[in-house]
Amino acid sequence: MALRAILVDGDDLLRKTSKPVEHFDARLHDLLDDMAQTMYKARGIGLAAPQVGVLRRVFVVDLGDGTGLREFVNPVISAALGDQVYEEGCLSVPGWYGNVHRPARLTVEAWDRHGRPFRLDAADLMAVCVSHENDHLDGVLFKDKVDGELVKL
Ligand code: QAP
Ligand code: CO
C-alpha cells in the first residue's frame, strides 16, 4: 500500500475521459488499496482514479457513516431520479465549495475488484458522491456544475 499524490485543478489529466478496466488483477487491487489509503489520509469521502493520475474507470467511496468502503469498477449510472442540491467540495479543488444539483436517487451498476457485478441503489449523500465521482471518469469537476458562487473556505 502506498499513498498517491492527488492531482489538483489545472492538471490536464483531470480533464481526460478514463478507459474501462480490462483486467481484474493485482495491479487493480494495488490501485484500489492505494486510493482508499489516499482518500482516508486526505479526509475525503470519495476519490476517483484520474485524481491520482490513473485514467481508468474506478472510484472509491466511504461516507464515514459506518457503511464502510465501497469500490466501483467500470460503473454505469443506469437510472437517476429527482433533484437535490448539496454543497460540494473535491480533493482536487482543495478549499473550494459550491452548490451542485444532482439526482436525488440513482442506480449504479458496477464491478467489484474481483470482477463480480453488483448494483447499488443510492440516495441522499451516497447519490451525490457516486454522481460526483462518476463525473471525474469523464473529466468533469464539480466546479463546472456549481449553481451560484464557488466559495473559498
Ligand atoms: C466528493 O469530496 C463529494 O477542499 C468527495 O480541503 C463532495 O471528499 C461527494 C475535501 C461532496 C459528496 C459530497 C475537500 C477535503 C474532501 C477539500 C471530498 C478539503 C479537504 C472532498
Ligand atoms: Co472530486
Would you say the pTM of this structure is higher than 0.95? yes
Please measure the distance between the N-terminal and C-terminal CA atoms of the chain and give it in whole angstroms.
Answer: 31
- Of residues 22, 71, 109, 133, which has the active-site annotation? 133
Q: Catalytic: 88?
A: no
pLDDT per residue over 69-115, tens digit each?
999 999 999 999 999 999 999 999 999 999 999 999 999 999 999 99
Choose between 61 and 153: higher pLDDT: 61
74 neighbors 20 (Cβ within 8 angstroms)? yes
CA of 9 to the centre of ligand 1 (A): 13
pLDDT at 14: 99
pLDDT per residue over 8-55, tens digit each?
999 999 999 999 999 999 999 999 999 999 999 999 999 999 999 999
62 neighbors 40 (Cβ within 8 angstroms)? yes
Segments of the chain assigned E as strands: 46-48, 58-61, 70-81, 84-88, 96-102, 105-111, 117-123, 151-152
Identify the CA nearest to 48 among candidates 91, 84, 111, 96: 91
Using CB atoms within 10 A of its CB, is residue 86 exposed (0-12), middle (13-18) or buried (19+)?
middle
Neighbours of 65 (CB within 10 A): 9
Ligand nearest to the CA of 9: 2
54 neighbors 33 (Cβ within 8 angstroms)? no
pLDDT at 36: 98
> Which atom of ligand 1 sits closest to the CA of residue 95?
4
pLDDT at 16: 98
pLDDT per residue over 51-75, tens digit each?
999 999 999 999 999 999 999 999 9
Spatial distance between the Cα atoms of 136 and 60, rounded to a whole number of angstroms: 12
pLDDT at 37: 98
Identify the CA nearest to 42 among candidates 3, 79, 76: 3
pLDDT at 23: 98
CA of 112 to the centre of ligand 1 (A): 23
Domains and CATH numbers, the chain: 12-152 (3.90.45.10)
